[in-house]
C-alpha cells in the first residue's frame, strides 16, 4: 500500500490504553478538503486518525499511538471511552443530510487493506470493527445502510450478517433490547439502537421496529459470539 499523505491535526491527546477497536465514520461534508479542514481546526475539537477520499487517496491526521477525538459520547460492550481504545477512519461521503450515496469502488478498494492492516497490527476482533452509529446510536447514522459491511466481512474483518438458520425467538420489545445490549449496543434510546442495528445487519429496511427477522438475526449473532441469551 502507498503511504498516507500527512495532514497533521492538533486535536489529540495521550491514549493511555491499548487499541482494541476500529470505528468507521463518514465525513458528512462536501469533500475531503472540507472534512480535513474541520478535523484540523483546533476550535472544532474533533479529529480522526485517517481520512479516506472517494478516489482512494488516504490522509493521516493523527498517529495511531495517540488518542484522536472521533467517537464523542459513545459506548460499546460496556466501554465508554471509545477514543482511548480505538482507531478512527473518516470515509468521505456527503452523508444523510447532504446527498448520501454509495461508497465508490476506489474508496472501498483502499479501505479493505487499510482495515486489514490495522486489525492485524493491533489484534482487533471483528466484533470490535464498528460504525459510528453502532457506538452512538442516538446521535449518529454513519457510515450508514449503503456502506459495504459484507465486503469487510468476506475478508473476516467485521462481523457478517448471519445466514439465517434460526427461527424467530419471539422476544418482547424489551427482551430484544436486552439481547441487543448483550451484543454490545447502548440501548438507552431503544428505537435508535434498533435502527443502528438494522443499518448494520438488515440495511434494506431501517425503521426502528424489531421484527421477527431482526430478532432471528440477533439470535444468530449472539449464538455465534457465545453470549448468554435473555430468558
Count Cβ neighbours within 10 Å for each residue of 38-50 and write b for 16 or more, e otherwise. Answer: bbbeeeeebbbbb
Residue with cell 457465545: 226
**90 catalytic, yes or no?**
yes
Q: What is the DSSP string of 131-195?
A: EHHHH-TTT---S-TTS-HHHHHHTTSSPPPP---S------HHHHHHHHHHHT---SSHHHHHH
- E strands, the chain, in order: 5-6, 12-14, 21-26, 50-52, 58-60, 66-68, 86-91, 129-131
Element (H, E) at 92: none
Is the separation of the CB atoms in 128 and 21 below 8 Å? yes
Point out the catalytic residue in the list 3, 54, 64, 90.
Answer: 90
173: Cβ contacts below 8 Å, ≥ 6 apart = 190, 210
So which residues are the catalytic ones?
A: 90
Amino acid at each position: 500500500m502507498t503511504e498516507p499523505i500527512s495532514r497533521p491535526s492538533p486535536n489529540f491527546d495521550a491514549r493511555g490504553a491499548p487499541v482494541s477497536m476500529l470505528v468507521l465514520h463518514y465525513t458528512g461534508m462536501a469533500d475531503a478538503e472540507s472534512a480535513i479542514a474541520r478535523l484540523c481546526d483546533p476550535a472544532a475539537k474533533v479529529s480522526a486518525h485517517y481520512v479516506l477520499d472517494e478516489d482512494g487517496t488516504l490522509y493521516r491526521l493523527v498517529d495511531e499511538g495517540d488518542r484522536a477525538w472521533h467517537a464523542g459520547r459513545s459506548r460499546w460492550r460496556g466501554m465508554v471511552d471509545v477514543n482511548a481504545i480505538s482507531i478512527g477512519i473518516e470515509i468521505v461521503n456527503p452523508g444523510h443530510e447532504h446527498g448520501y450515496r454509495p461508497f465508490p469502488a476506489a474508496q472501498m478498494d483502499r479501505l479493505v487493506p487499510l482495515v486489514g492492516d490495522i486489525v492485524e497490527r493491533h489484534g482487533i476482533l471483528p466484533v470490535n470493527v464498528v460504525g459510528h452509529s453502532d457506538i452512538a446510536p442516538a446521535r449518529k447514522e454513519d457510515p450508514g445502510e449503503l456502506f459495504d459491511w459484507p465486503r469487510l466481512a468476506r475478508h473476516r474483518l467485521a462481523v457478517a450478517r448471519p445466514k439465517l438458520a434460526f427461527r424467530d425467538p419471539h422476544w418482547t420489545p424489551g427482551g430484544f433490547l436486552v439481547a441487543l445490549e448483550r451484543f454490545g449496543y447502548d440501548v438507552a434510546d431503544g428505537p435508535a439502537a434498533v435502527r443502528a442495528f438494522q443499518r448494520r445487519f438488515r440495511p434494506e429496511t431501517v425503521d426502528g421496529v424489531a421484527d421477527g427477522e431482526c430478532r432471528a438475526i440477533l439470535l444468530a449473532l449472539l449464538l455465534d459470539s457465545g453470549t448468554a441469551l435473555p430468558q
